[in-house]
Structure 1
Amino acid sequence: MKKTIHIIGSGFSSLAASCYLAQAGYDVTVFEKNKTIGGRARQLVKEGFTFDIGPTWYWMPDVFERFFADFNKKPSDYYILKKLNPAYSVYFGKDDFITIENTLEKIINAFEKEEPGSSKKLKKFIQTAKSNYNIAIKDLVYNPGVSALELITPATIKKVNQFFSTIKRDVRKEFKNDRLVKILEFPVLFLGAKPSDTPSFYSFMNYADFGLGTFHPKKGMYQVILAMERLALELGVTIKTDAPIEKIIVKNKEAKGIVSKGKLFKSDIVVSGADYHHTETLLDKPFRQYSESYWNKKTFAPSSLLFYVGFDKKLINVNHHTLFFDVDFDIHAEAIYDTPKWPENPLFYASFPSITDNNSAPDGKEAGIFLIPLAPGLEDTPELRATYFEKIMTRFENLTSQSVKNHVIFKESFCINDFIKDYNSYKGNAYGMANTLMQTAFLRPKLKSKRVKNLFFTGQLTVPGPGVPPSLISGKLVADLVTKYHNI
């Protein structure tokens, strides 16, 4: 008789784990608290517009290819992928922006134009970043975070200094132009920490950006979720939606099942892809590994204030991905990480998928997603949301030289309270736990419970870290760990 596994949550890591575990021969059921699958990567459809609620960047395509290849599939079996050109643009002032195009050669030329002599430095920087990327993907991120020895390989020994320097230090040592510095420091924000707190080794994100490029799945990132659902169903996984979990049942220090809507579902193994902190609250206190003070001391990736906006016209002077760095990043970062508060003048990011994808908006109209990074745990009120929408729309109009406020058909918002309500997210964080030096690899919360046999974890708060590709990897890692301890 097959061993049964219940998986809590249906985000990228949970769906990945479900596929690997079903392939390994387990009887797998996924329980999702919301009415639709996808976790943070759900979709909003309204008045002919379609928005990705969560992730909008498709980076590191090789990780997606590797995932599907593990099942003798390809991403193209499920969705159409387009490389964006330009990848994105960055505004620094009114009608003042730098465009990052779709090849390293074009990017090098843009840097040289901005700062004479910088092209040689960029080539060298990206060469190191590529080396780091190859080491990270081949040697490091597919390790389960069990031991410090995982970090010690012939390749990483040569890079040891990069674990004790920072991205900020390395970038500013070579590049003097503040605009180029901001562009080079931007990718590590996906890891959830300031460039000054992110080890130099993570420059591999710059290779993901400049070397591999930025892609868009036709009809949006939710197509990846639907692809993984289809694969899971093909492998025999059962998926239950509208199925919140109230408790993890433990007997004799062993997970025996879960309770959903008052009903007991017995299983041999429980895997949680839900928020790690929340998952532990589903256990009686003696079975929790980490105290409240432990979580409170950790550096969490930011939360976000997001707006999903339908415009009644096509917009100008923007690209599919557009960053607005016209204010001081250090001051905004301080409001996120050092003295948490609502930033007076926030940086923000905007995505206009309908520029690339006519499935995102009706003809002649534009779908806009706007994101302001925030400290987790802040007060979140309708009044604050309205104030910040007005702030960024005023700046947006000025920077891009167009009128938009009078062309808003509707706007929906999503912020800290929603991250808590919809995802049980600790303090309403959006991206999990930051990848700082002291929160890397074996120093992150463990995939396997130390106190409850047959209980495992996956997702952004555990190994390897924040982001969509790491979540796919996390699902594989936990599945490998389950099969290691529970051979069928």
Structure 2
Amino acid sequence: MNPKAIVIGAGFGGLAAAARLRARGYDVTVFDKQNQPGGRAAVFERDGFIFDAGPTVVTAHFLFDELFALFGKKREDYIEFREVYPWYRIGFADGTYFNYGGTLEQTLDEIRKIEPDDCDGYLRLLEHTQRIFDVGFTQLGDKPFGTVGSMVKVAPQMIKLGAWRTVWQMACKYMKNDKLRRVFSFQPLLVGGNPFNTTSIYSLIQYLEREWKVHFAMGGTGAIVRGIVKLLEEEGVKFRLGEEVEQILVEHASTTTLHQSFPDNSSKWTDTKHPMRVTGVLLASGETHSADTLVCNADAPAVYKHLIASEFRPKWTDKKIEKLKYSMGLFVLYFGTKTQYPDVAHHTILLGDRYKEHLAEMFDLKKLALDDFSTYLHRPTATDPSMAPPGCDCFYVLCPVPNLQGDVDWKTMGPKYRDLIIDDLEKRHLPNLRANLAVDFYVTPEHFRDNLNTLHGTGFSIQPTFSQSAYFRFHNKSDDIANLFFVGAGTHPGAGMPGVLCSAKVLEYVLPQA
């Protein structure tokens, strides 16, 4: 009989983990609180408009290809990706724009329009980010960092690459113009980090985009979820949707139960190091389900704090969990229009005038900006018109806001913030927006807390600072509980589609053979 594996959470990390578990011979069941798979990548449908709830930027589609290849199948038979251009259109407060992406020469042409002298700096920046990518992504992105030794081993390379610098400092090293420094430093915001304190290792995103471009899935991000779920069901993975895990059941274990076979026939779990193990899960319905292995795609700090009794987590005490630096929250306004805006790019980043000041207020002071805020505007109908009724456009606008460690009353502020954002979009980007609205609704950090179970309603779990990266991030294999594993935004290597997909690849190194 195959060993039983339970996966908590059907986000991209959980789906990828389920695929890798099944390919290794496990009998896999995925539980998710929501009534549809996808986690943050769920789908909302309103009046003929299809809204991807969360992630929309595909920068490493080969990681999806790998999941299908595990079973001798081709991703192209399930999901269609198309490259978009520009990858992002960055709008500045003065009304000017920068079209980022495409060929190298197209990017250099955009740089020349702002500051010709920064072309050489960009080429040197790109070369540096390639070196970071070769180490941070290719060598280490899918490897476990569960010991101090694993960190010490790579420390010389990290120091040589300038990992102690922030993403902003890296941009400033190579670019002279302030606008261009913003263009080449905003990327950490897409994974929950402040460019002014996120380690420059995350600058590898720029080379990742340059090497594999930016794509969109026809049918939306939800089409990626449906394609992977179809694959998993074909391979015998079971889904229990609309069923919330209320508690992870743990017991003190004997040496015998901890001794498991690894591919090299060695035993790496000892009674001294891992005196506890998971026996199963308790659902909110009162049902219990046993498991030989448990993989959590749920938010790691929330799992430790709310699903595991304190006696079974000596490392991750409530006090230590609360000391962590958490990502910002998100206010996301979804709307459809009765007309089309053909001049609006697929991905648009609208930067406010106060860049550093606004980010400091949001991350450090937990203060909500009521003017001069920055937003990400997503228009999927620029690539796939089927996301909206004929003659219409589909949008969402994502606005970074303080997480719930702040004191914003979203019941009161939600409608006001919706109006502020619509006013800003109508003024800067979408003329006559109010008159053309066909449907709109929004979610606040409370949605991420109540429906996605993230601690403090964060959009991306903990921040990707240097002191919360690699070994210093939540480990993919629990330090205390023998058969408990983590994938997803809060664990190594981090948030974003590439990060959570790579977190599932780490399982290949830490899971016992079924």
Q: Same fold (TM over 0.5)?
A: yes
Partner of 1:249 in structure 2?
Answer: 249
Tell me the TM-score normalised to structure 1 length. 0.94
Partner of 1:433 in structure 2?
Answer: 462
Partner of 2:256 in structure 1?
Answer: none
- Give the alignment of 1:14-163 within 5 angstroms: 14-93=14-93, 95-151=95-151, 157=157, 160-163=160-163
Partner of 1:322 in structure 2?
Answer: 348
Match for 2:291 among 267, 270, 290? Answer: 267
Partner of 1:304 in structure 2?
Answer: 330
Measured against aligned partners, the alpha-carbon deviations of 1:293-336 in whole angstroms (never above 9, x if no partner) come to 21222122221000110111112542111111132111220122
Conserved? CA contact 2:143–2:509, under 8 Å: no
1:405/1:156 CA distance change after superposition, 3 Å: farther
**How far 1:467 moved relative to its partner?**
0.9
Partner of 1:466 in structure 2?
Answer: 495
Conserved? CA contact 1:94–1:399, under 8 Å: no
1:172/1:364 CA distance change after superposition, 3 Å: same
Q: Distance in 2 between matches of 1:136 and 1:234?
A: 34
Q: Distance in 2 between matches of 1:158 and 1:198?
A: 14
Measured against aligned partners, the alpha-carbon deviations of 1:167-198 in whole angstroms (never above 9, x if no partner) come to 21221233222211110011122232222212
Work out whether 1:293 is the aligned partner of 2:316: no
Conserved? CA contact 2:341–2:430, under 8 Å: no
Q: Distance in 2 between matches of 1:291 and 1:387?
A: 38
Match for 1:410 among 409, 415, 439? Answer: 439
1:194/1:429 CA distance change after superposition, 3 Å: same
Q: Which 5+ residue runs of structure 1 have no aligned equivalent?
A: none
Give SS of 2:184's match.
helix
Conserved? CA contact 1:380–1:415, under 8 Å: no
Conserved? CA contact 2:132–2:201, under 8 Å: yes
Work out whether 1:230 is the aligned partner of 2:253: no
Conserved? CA contact 1:83–1:102, under 8 Å: no
Q: Distance in 1 between matches of 2:374 and 2:158?
A: 36
Conserved? CA contact 1:94–1:401, under 8 Å: no
Match for 2:307 among 282, 288, 293? Answer: 282
1:279/1:155 CA distance change after superposition, 3 Å: closer
Conserved? CA contact 1:79–1:223, under 8 Å: yes
Work out whether 1:454 is the aligned partner of 2:472: no
Conserved? CA contact 1:135–1:155, under 8 Å: no
Q: Which 5+ residue runs of structure 2 have no aligned equivalent?
A: 253-275
**How far 1:154 moved relative to its partner?**
8.0
Partner of 1:424 in structure 2?
Answer: 453
| RMSD of aligned alpha carbons | 1.9
Measured against aligned partners, the alpha-carbon deviations of 1:216-263 in whole angstroms (never above 9, x if no partner) come to 100111122112212211221111111111122223332111112101
Q: Distance in 1 between matches of 2:391 and 2:192?
A: 36
Q: Distance in 2 between matches of 1:383 and 1:267?
A: 43
Partner of 2:196 in structure 1?
Answer: 196
**How far 1:480 moved relative to its partner?**
3.7
Q: Distance in 1 between matches of 2:137 and 2:170?
A: 22
1:401/1:231 CA distance change after superposition, 3 Å: closer
Conserved? CA contact 1:143–1:150, under 8 Å: no
Conserved? CA contact 1:305–1:415, under 8 Å: yes
Letter in 2 for 1:255: V
Conserved? CA contact 2:190–2:496, under 8 Å: yes
Percent of residue pairs bearing the same amino acid type: 26
Deviates more, 1:209-218 or 1:406-415: 209-218
Give SS of 1:162's match.
coil
Letter in 1 for 2:452: Y
Give SS of 2:207's match.
helix
Deviates more, 1:12-21 or 1:199-208: 199-208
1:83/1:156 CA distance change after superposition, 3 Å: farther
Match for 2:394 among 360, 363, 367? Answer: 367
Match for 1:396 among 415, 425, 443? Answer: 425
**How far 1:94 moved relative to its partner?**
5.6
Conserved? CA contact 2:349–2:375, under 8 Å: yes
Partner of 1:343 in structure 2?
Answer: 369
Measured against aligned partners, the alpha-carbon deviations of 1:123-176 in whole angstroms (never above 9, x if no partner) come to 111111122212222211111111244356689627525112222122123322
**How far 1:62 moved relative to its partner?**
3.2
Conserved? CA contact 2:327–2:458, under 8 Å: yes
Conserved? CA contact 1:255–1:270, under 8 Å: yes
Give SS of 2:352's match.
coil
**How far 1:83 moved relative to its partner?**
0.5
